[in-house]
Amino acid sequence: MRHISIKWRMTLWFTVVMVTISALVLVFVMLMNRNSVTRPPEAQVVYMVQRNADDLEFDHGNWDFSDVEFYGHGVYTEIYDEDGHLLGGAGPAAVTEQMPFSDEGLRTVTGSDDGRYYVYDRALNVGGATVWVRGTIDSAARESVMDVIVPLAWALLPGLVVVSALGGWLISSLSFKPMEKVIAAAESISGGDDLSKRIGLPRGKSEINRLAGAFDDMFDRLERSFKAETQFTSDASHELRTPVTVILAECDTLERTQPTAEDYQEGVGVIRRQAQQMSRLIGQLLHITRLEQGTQKTYMERADLSALAEAVCEQQRLIAPAGTELTLDAPEPVEVQADVLLMTRVLNNLIANAFRYGKDGGHVSVTVRRENGWAVLAVRDDGIGIAPEQQERIWQRFYQVDPARSGGEGTGLGLYMVRQIARLHGGTAEVDSAPGQGSTFTVRIPAHRK
């Protein structure tokens, strides 16, 4: 049974149920008509006459026919007095011949319709009074019942079985047709042919539609995961190539030469800086991958963006380039629902970027304000600025306007991460800049409703 498909199981189930119902109906009909079906006409007429004779009552000199069944199960019942006068009931219209009475004798008579009838008489003597109970039945009565019930049942039974089987197959086929799409999509993705394959059923409340929707969501996540893995591998192999090459070259130099203590210390310093660069790069790549996949754990809480900016600015002043001034303009509390650690990273990235690309002895300003239901964070520098054709590219991975200004510490992932975090909070990240006039980076996220 486990090797039979669900469609065939449903079809067999419908068929078995219909066969069972049909059989029960047939048995019920035969039981309801058992007297007509199981008894031959001659036995039926004797049975009815005897039963009606037992139901006759003689009370205070009068006959009581209230319990007598004058017609039932194909038997016509007549009651006569001893002189042959009809007291109750009627015979078949086709039997016009008045036959003499014969106590408990079964006789045959031909009717006006050329049909053959059985006649049975029984004398009943109660209280000195005698009556005759006569029963008449068509000899074809049993055949007529059988001709109607049994052939009809046997004709309907196979038909109902066939209809139920076809109906079961049709219903199961239509019901499980979407499953073929699910299987095809799963097999396509499993084979690695096309990760963008989707089932594409409309969303609905039925189990199949909900299952297809769940599979589509799962396929979306699988595709994103695969793309993120591919992107991570590509980025890591590309960006780690330079520091790895530098490390290997430095090690080779130290091995081939007779380095002095100063040379050795310098070489170790180069290796350490490249290793630190690799560590930062890998950490940022992992963080970005988790953001893109939606697996980054976030702890959204009510926080004051102004207070957060003040704390970050205090820390950044300690590492600001010599002569660079960092100011904060946050005149009022601006509450948001945000992940404090992620928003701290946004502030650190934007301020570090402003330090890196600002002019020597310049000024970096941080502004926090509320604007039309948004919490607005802006970081402005007075540095080299960004050309219009580069302003969209700076949000891409690893893109740097002037790599030489990063001092080997920039990875080109800071601004990309800023935009991803802003989007995670339901906001945006934009830049307003012109060459030689500095840049203003603005992050907007929904402010907490007062």
Predicted confidence at residue 408, as pLDDT, reads 47
Phi first, then psi, for residue 218 (nearest 5°) are -65, -40
In a domain, 358, yes or no: yes
3-state secondary structure of 80: strand
Report the alpha-carbon distance of residue 250 to residue 72 in Å, rounded: 117
C-alpha 425: how far from its chain's center? 29
- pLDDT exceeds 70 at position 192: no
Residue 429 is assigned to a structural domain of this protein: yes
> Which pLDDT score, from 0 to 100, does residue 30 have?
66
Structure confidence at residue 270 (pLDDT): 82
* Cross-strand pairs, 108: 118
Q: Note whether residue 253 is domain-resident.
A: yes
- Distances in Å between the Cα of 309 and the Cα atoms of 213, 287, 331, 377, 380 are 42, 22, 12, 9, 14
- Domains: count for the chain: 3
- Looking at the domain assignment, is residue 308 inside a domain? yes
Same domain, 331 and 230: no
Q: Are residues 397 and 336 in the same domain?
A: yes
Q: Percent of the chain having pLDDT more than 90?
A: 20
What is the rounded end-to-end Cα distance, in angstroms, of the chain?
Answer: 64
pLDDT band per the 50, 70, 90 thresholds, residue 350: very high
Structure confidence by residue, pLDDT tens digits, 245-292: 878 888 888 888 877 888 888 888 888 877 876 776 677 667 766 766
Cα(189)–Cα(304) distance, integer angstroms: 46
Provide the percentage of residues in the chain whose pLDDT is more than 70: 77
CATH number, domain with residue 281: 1.10.287.130
Inter-CA distances, 177 with 10, 167, 189, 348, Å: 14, 15, 19, 55
Mean pLDDT of 212-221: 76
Q: Residue 326's pLDDT band (boundaries 50, 70, 90)?
A: very high
412 pLDDT exceeds 50?
Answer: yes
Instruction: Yes or no: say if 89 and 77 are a contact pair by the CB < 8 Å rule.
Output: yes
DSSP class of residue 344 equals: H
| CATH code at position 71 | 3.30.450.140
User: Cα–chain-centroid distance for residue 415?
Assistant: 39
Judged by phi (left if over 0) then psi (alpha if -120 to 50, else beta), residue 200 lies in left
Please check the confidence at residue 188 and state whether its pLDDT lies above 80. Answer: no
The CA-based diameter of the chain, rounded to the nearest angstrom, is 155
Residue 372's SS3 state is coil
Angle formed by the axes of helices 141-190 and 41-55, nearest 10°: 110
State the pTM of this model. Answer: 0.48
Instruction: Convert 314-324 to b/e letters by CB count within 10 Å (16 or more is b).
Output: eebeeebeeeb
Does residue 164 carry a pLDDT above 80? Answer: no
Examine the fold and report which residue of 139, 170, 196 is the final residue of a domain before the chain moves on.
139
Question: Which amino acid is residue 224, in one-letter code?
Answer: R
Parent domain of 48: 37-139
The band of 359, judged by pLDDT with boundaries at 50, 70 and 90, is confident
State which of 292, 324, 353 marks the end of a domain: 292
Q: Which two tokens stand for residue 390?
A: 């580069």
Confidence of residue 302 (pLDDT cuts 50, 70, 90): very high
H helix runs in 137-206, sequence order: 141-190
Name the 3-class secondary structure at 62: strand
Candidates 44, 67, 63, 43; CA nearest to 54 is: 67
Identify the bridge partners of residue 89 per DSSP, sorted by sequence position: 78
Domain end: 263, 292, 321, which one? Answer: 292
**What's the order of all strands across the beta sheet hosting 374-381?**
325-329, 363-371, 374-381, 439-446, 428-433
Q: What is the pLDDT of residues 36-65, one digit of tens each?
A: 545 778 888 898 999 988 888 877 777 788
Specify whether 279 is located in the same domain as 317: no
* Per-residue tokens: 389: 């054709």
Cα R_g (the chain), whole angstroms: 50
* Residue 212 dihedral angles phi and psi, to the nearest 5°: -65, -40
Top-confidence residue, 7 or 274: 274
23, 154 contact by CB (below 8 A): no
Quote the CA–CA distance of 223 and 216 in Å, as a whole number.
10
| Residues 239 and 127 occupy one common structural domain | no
Mean pLDDT of the chain: 80
- pLDDT band, residue 356 (cuts 50/70/90): confident
pLDDT digits (tens, 9 = 90+) for 389-410: 888 888 877 676 555 444 445 5
Is it the case that residue 31 has pLDDT exceeding 70? no
Q: Give the per-residue pLDDT at 248.
A: 85
What pLDDT, on a 0 to 100 scale, did the predictor assign at position 410?
A: 52
CB 354 within 8 A of CB 324: no
